[in-house]
């Protein structure tokens, strides 16, 4: 199969995704029309997925400096200093469109890709977290995508031996046609072993390692992620990559071994756009040129054309730069790990990417034009003048607080995630101190052999419905919520990664959502002094029915000095006092209860940064010092749901009386179920200690949850009833 040579290359360019103006710009920069191989390369490198055409200017407004920063944006993964000469590398990426077409392989290869990003900087992956969004679970398609994606994540992570330690899943109608599958990986390395991706040293050799190249991924992530999904999605199945976690495991060990032996000059994974992006981006970062000979690339299908080889997105491949005198040693290490490795080119001083097919040159372009001259567009944001999203279907008609709590606990967005987490191995590698459902954040030991000592905590968060209510406030809330999860575990945040999932940015209302959300992220990061170390942008998440909820997903990593003192969420001592910590100003706008009631989106309260910082610090310090026995942030579902979750986790009840002294004078339903994410916590322990950081509202004990508001009993439900609703909410969605 070869690319057709059409008389009208402009039409061919448009067919491949470039606009006519972009093609004119390309011809002007090259001084000629591109050949078929060159056009295929530019169509991907100038795509939204690779070029960030509509978001790069916005991303420059995010804070990216911090005292603990080791690697920032621009590398395969960011990294922060965790002391003792060690660094934690982490990143989150999307695999949305491939997962909407083929959920198992789309999600599995999303995990494989994010793992490669982390070990491409020299860090050993030690944890995976995932953030998933699907349509309402009564939809057969949503259940199919949900079950397939969860199975794909479990298959890849479990097979390669990296624990899946946390994550989140939401079900909302705007994700029906376009699910979101975001994967985050965290890795650990000595700072001395960290490696960058910049190619260097003319005459050095390019070595392609790993799986052979096939057609299974041609145009996959880059093409699928740069266009809206339509009715013919099934025709795109050949563009979804096929993963092999066992091959990746060997590749991972091989790369880390090569780095331990100091045999590599640079290392880069092959993701979107395959050899084209990896080779050109390495050259651009190093200010050099590269020659790539596609005739030397190991193929699965012998009749592949040069343009197919250059843009294939086949999985489990890495590209490295090696000094000629060390080539034999590199190949020997690869042979030891049974990883195929082939020299396919060399670094030059030409500043150009040349593609050879044996002898003939089939592409010759300036690296700068391919990588740095991708057109960047100014957004044309405009706030919508009418609601973008219809109200959800009403599923709750009762106004009884007890029945409301049972309904919330059994709802798909709040029910126990154990049926999902049970598909994953959370403890492989023997680092996990706090696994899913034990604490608000996962906690892992830096040195598992020590049994205790310094640890890191990690969490991933985002609530698209609340961002849809107010993009700026909702995005800031995602940052505060993620930091609150770390605080409840006793961890102080060191860095943040994000994945920005939005609709078509060429539409003014989506551009407005994107612009406002990035501003909210920047504000919250500055308020908490947390740098953004890197991330991903996924646009065009849209179907003929409209855009997804704007969904900025935030992943955060923090540190705590003693793993043995990591926080946990469960009540576990009869008679312990319970306190509410934080300046909690709950609202039902955009809440889970509002959704169950079928209410339209409404403005959410503005976060109070100073109060949030104070509450986070108070809880974090109390956890670290052992002054509280449990800590849990108040999130979706409000205080009542938070209390129920603590009681169910510890299998012990509680009796509380919520004060009504707030100047806002909230209604009982607002106090019980209102939300202000990231701003408050429920903690338990000795009353005298709790009074130092919050307001004591009750005590642990009994076999039911009893909540009064201002001295008036509001609800009482047995743990058995609450537990049944909580456990059954998601379990029924799995077919087995």
- What is the structure's pLDDT at 697? 97
Domain boundaries, the chain: 1-62+196-377, 568-730
Q: At what angle do helices 401-410 and 719-731 cross, to 10 degrees?
A: 30
**What is the mean pLDDT of the segment spanning 306-327?**
96
Q: What is the pLDDT of residues 323-344, one digit of tens each?
A: 999 999 999 999 999 999 999 9
Q: Which two structure tokens, joined as six digits, stand for 472?
A: 């700026």
- What is the structure's pLDDT at 735? 58
Going by C-beta distance under 8 Å and a sequence separation of 6 or more, which residues neighbour residue 674? 586, 587, 588, 591, 638, 666
Element (DSSP H or E) covering residue 705: strand 704-709
Are 682 and 632 in contact by the 8 Å Cβ rule? The answer is: yes
Are 139 and 273 in contact by the 8 Å Cβ rule? The answer is: no
Give the distance from CA 447 to its chain's centroid: 25
For the domain with range 1-62+196-377, which CATH number is right: 2.70.170.10, 3.90.650.10, 3.20.20.70, 3.20.20.120? 3.90.650.10
Are 346 and 205 in contact by the 8 Å Cβ rule? The answer is: yes
Residue 559's nearest CA partner among 1, 90, 41, 22 is 90
Are 211 and 244 in contact by the 8 Å Cβ rule? The answer is: yes
Q: What is the pLDDT of residues 454-509, one digit of tens each?
A: 999 999 999 999 999 999 999 999 999 999 999 999 999 999 999 999 999 999 99
- What is the structure's pLDDT at 665? 72
β-partners of residue 647 are: none
Dihedrals phi, psi of 171, to nearest 5 degrees: -125, 115
Task: Report the percent of the chain where pLDDT is more than 70.
Answer: 95
Residues carrying an active site annotation: 49, 95
Sheet bearing 180-190, strands edge to edge: 69-71, 78-83, 86-94, 180-190, 124-134, 164-171
Q: How far is CA 10 from CA 21, 34, 36, 450, 590, in A?
A: 10, 10, 12, 63, 47
Report the distance separating Cα 224 and Cα 97, nearest Å.
6
- What is the structure's pLDDT at 241? 72
Report the distance separating Cα 479 and Cα 678, nearest Å.
8
Strand, helix or coil for residue 282: helix
Strand, helix or coil for residue 220: helix
Number of Cβ within 10 Å of residue 399's Cβ equals: 9
Q: Locate all alpha helices (DSSP H) within 651-718, ordered by sequence.
A: 668-673, 687-690
E strands within 502-647? Answer: 532-538, 542-543, 546-547, 551-560, 577-581, 630-633
Q: What is the pLDDT of residues 626-639, one digit of tens each?
A: 999 999 999 999 99
β-partners of residue 356 are: 293, 361
Element (DSSP H or E) covering residue 345: strand 341-348
Q: How far is CA 170 from CA 70, 246, 461, 477, 679, in A?
A: 33, 30, 11, 16, 21
**Per residue in 53-80, is it b (16+ CB within 10 Å) or e — as a string?**
bbbeebbeebbbebebbbbbeebbbbbb
Number of Cβ within 10 Å of residue 348's Cβ equals: 18
Tally the C-alpha atoms within 13 A of residue 362's C-alpha that lie toward its C-beta.
22
Number of Cβ within 10 Å of residue 300's Cβ equals: 13
**What is the mean pLDDT of the segment spanning 305-316?**
94
Q: What is the pLDDT of residues 578-622, one digit of tens each?
A: 999 998 889 999 999 999 999 999 999 999 999 999 999 999 999
Whether 1-62+196-377 shares its CATH topology with 568-730 is answered yes
- What is the structure's pLDDT at 660? 83
Tally the C-alpha atoms within 13 A of residue 67's C-alpha that lie toward its C-beta.
3
Tally the C-alpha atoms within 13 A of residue 559's C-alpha that lie toward its C-beta.
17
- What is the structure's pLDDT at 7? 46
Are 666 and 673 in contact by the 8 Å Cβ rule? The answer is: no
Query: How many residues are there in the chain?
Result: 736
Number of Cβ within 10 Å of residue 713's Cβ equals: 12
CATH code for the domain defined by 568-730: 3.90.650.10
**What is the mean pLDDT of the segment spanning 704-722?**
96
Going by C-beta distance under 8 Å and a sequence separation of 6 or more, which residues neighbour residue 681? 484, 487, 488, 580, 581, 582, 615, 619, 631, 632, 633, 634, 694
- What is the structure's pLDDT at 8? 78
Residue where the block lists tokens 């957004």: 379
**Per residue in 85-123, is it b (16+ CB within 10 Å) or e — as a string?**
ebbbbbbbbbbbbbbbbbbbbbbbbbbbbbbbbbbbbbb
DSSP track, 363-397: EEEEHHHHHT------------SS-SSPPPPP---
- What is the structure's pLDDT at 663? 56
**What is the mean pLDDT of the segment spanning 539-553?**
94
Are 653 and 705 in contact by the 8 Å Cβ rule? The answer is: yes
Q: How far is CA 451 from CA 433, 445, 587, in A?
A: 10, 8, 43
Q: How far is CA 628 from CA 236, 451, 657, in A?
A: 53, 22, 20
DSSP track, 589-627: TT-HHHHHTTPPP-PPPPP-HHHHHHHHHHHHHHHHTT-
Q: What is the pLDDT of residues 53-67, one digit of tens each?
A: 999 999 999 999 999
Q: Which two structure tokens, joined as six digits, stand for 115?
A: 């793992």
Strand, helix or coil for residue 166: strand
Report the distance separating Cα 327 and Cα 306, nearest Å.
25
Pick left, alpha or beta for residue 477 (phi over 0 → left; psi -120 to 50 → alpha; otherwise beta). Answer: alpha
Q: Which two structure tokens, joined as six digits, stand for 459?
A: 């969490």
What percent of the chain is helix, strand and coil (3-state, nearest 5)? 40, 25, 40
Q: Which two structure tokens, joined as six digits, stand for 440?
A: 């608000």
Residue where the block lists tokens 């976690």: 245
Q: What is the pLDDT of residues 515-540, one digit of tens each?
A: 999 999 999 999 999 999 999 999 99
- What is the structure's pLDDT at 2? 46
Report the distance separating Cα 709 and Cα 706, nearest Å.
10
- What is the structure's pLDDT at 239? 54
Q: How far is CA 17 from CA 42, 222, 488, in A?
A: 10, 10, 46
pTM: 0.94
Q: Which two structure tokens, joined as six digits, stand for 698?
A: 């009750």
266-269/317-322 β-pairing: antiparallel
- What is the structure's pLDDT at 225? 43
Q: What is the pLDDT of residues 204-263, one digit of tens each?
A: 999 999 999 998 767 543 444 444 445 444 444 445 777 899 999 999 999 999 999 999
Q: Which two structure tokens, joined as six digits, stand for 179?
A: 């699910």
Task: Give the confidence band of 661 by pLDDT, cuts at 50, 70, 90.
Answer: low
């Amino acid at each position: 199969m070869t690319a057709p040579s059409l008389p009208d290359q402009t039409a061919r360019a448009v067919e491949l995704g470039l606009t006519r103006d972009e093609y004119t710009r390309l011809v002007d920069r090259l001084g000629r029309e591109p050949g078929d191989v060159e056009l295929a390369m530019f169509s991907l490198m100038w795509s939204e997925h690779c070029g960030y055409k509509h978001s790069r200017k916005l991303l420059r407004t995010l804070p990216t400096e911090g005292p603990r920063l080791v690697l920032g944006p621009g590398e395969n993964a960011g990294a922060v200093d965790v002391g003792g000469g060690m660094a934690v590398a982490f990143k989150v990426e999307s695999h949305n469109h491939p997962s909407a077409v083929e959920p198992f392989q789309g999600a599995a290869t999303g995990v494989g890709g994010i793992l490669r990003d982390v070990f491409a900087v020299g860090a050993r992956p030690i944890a995976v977290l995932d953030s998933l969004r699907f349509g309402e679970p009564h939809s057969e398609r949503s259940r199919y995508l949900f079950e397939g994606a969860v199975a794909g994540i479990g298959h890849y992570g479990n097979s390669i031996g990296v624990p899946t330690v946390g994550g989140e899943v939401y079900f909302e109608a705007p994700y029906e046609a376009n699910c979101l599958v975001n994967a985050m990986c965290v890795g650990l390395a000595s700072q001395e072993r960290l490696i960058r991706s910049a190619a260097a040293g003319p005459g050095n050799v390019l070595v392609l390692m790993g799986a052979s190249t096939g057609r299974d991924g041609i145009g996959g992530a880059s093409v699928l992620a740069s266009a809206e999904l339509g009715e013919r999605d099934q025709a795109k199945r050949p563009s979804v990559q096929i993963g092999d976690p066992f091959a990746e495991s060997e590749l991972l060990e091989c790369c880390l071994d090569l780095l331990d032996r100091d045999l590599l000059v640079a290392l880069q994974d092959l993701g979107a756009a395959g050899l084209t992006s990896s080779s050109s981006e390495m050259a651009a970062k190093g200010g050099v040129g590269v020659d790539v000979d596609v005739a030397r690339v190991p193929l699965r299908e012998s009749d592949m054309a040069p343009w197919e080889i250059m843009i294939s997105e086949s999985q489990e491949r890495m590209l490295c730069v090696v000094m000629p005198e060390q080539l034999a040693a590199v190949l020997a290490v690869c042979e030891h790990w049974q990883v195929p490795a082939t020299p396919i080119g060399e670094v030059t001083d030409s500043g150009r990417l040349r593609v050879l097919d044996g002898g003939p040159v089939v592409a010759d372009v300036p690296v700068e034009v391919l990588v740095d001259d991708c057109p960047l567009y100014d957004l044309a944001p405009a706030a919508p003048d009418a609601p973008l999203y219809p109200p959800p279907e009403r599923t709750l008609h009762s106004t009884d607080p007890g029945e409301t709590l049972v309904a919330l606990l059994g709802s798909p967005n709040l029910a126990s995630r154990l049926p999902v987490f049970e598909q994953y191995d959370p403890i492989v590698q023997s680092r996990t101190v706090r696994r899913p459902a034990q604490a608000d954040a996962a906690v892992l030991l830096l040195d598992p052999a020590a049994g205790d000592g310094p640890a890191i905590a990690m969490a991933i968060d985002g609530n698209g419905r609340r961002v849809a209510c107010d993009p700026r406030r909702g995005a800031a809330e995602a940052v505060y919520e993620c930091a609150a999860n770390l605080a409840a575990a006793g961890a102080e945040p060191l860095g943040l990664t994000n994945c920005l999932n939005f609709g078509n940015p060429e539409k003014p209302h989506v551009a407005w959502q994107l612009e406002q959300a990035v501003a909210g992220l920047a504000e919250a990061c500055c308020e908490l002094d947390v740098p953004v170390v890197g991330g991903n942008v996924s646009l065009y998440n849209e179907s003929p029915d409209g855009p997804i909820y704007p969904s900025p997903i935030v992943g955060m990593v923090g540190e705590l000095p003693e793993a043995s003192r990591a926080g946990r969420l469960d009540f576990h001592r009869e008679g312990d006092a319970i306190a509410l910590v934080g300046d909690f100003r709950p609202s039902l706008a955009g809440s889970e209860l509002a959704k169950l009631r079928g209410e339209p989106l409404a403005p959410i309260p503005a976060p109070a940064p100073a109060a949030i910082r104070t509450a986070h610090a108070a809880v974090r310090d109390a956890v670290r010092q052992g002054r509280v026995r449990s800590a849990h942030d108040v999130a979706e579902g409000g205080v009542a749901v938070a209390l129920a979750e603590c009681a169910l986790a510890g299998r012990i009840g509680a009796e509380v009386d919520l004060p009504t002294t707030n100047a806002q004078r909230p209604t009982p339903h607002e106090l019980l179920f209102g939300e202000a994410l990231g701003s408050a916590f429920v903690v338990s322990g000795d009353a005298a200690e709790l009074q130092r950081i919050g307001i004591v509202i009750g005590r642990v004990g009994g076999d039911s949850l009893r909540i009064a508001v201002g001295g008036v009993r509001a609800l009482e439900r047995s743990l058995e009833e609450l537990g049944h609703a909580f456990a059954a909410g998601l379990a029924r969605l799995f077919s087995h």
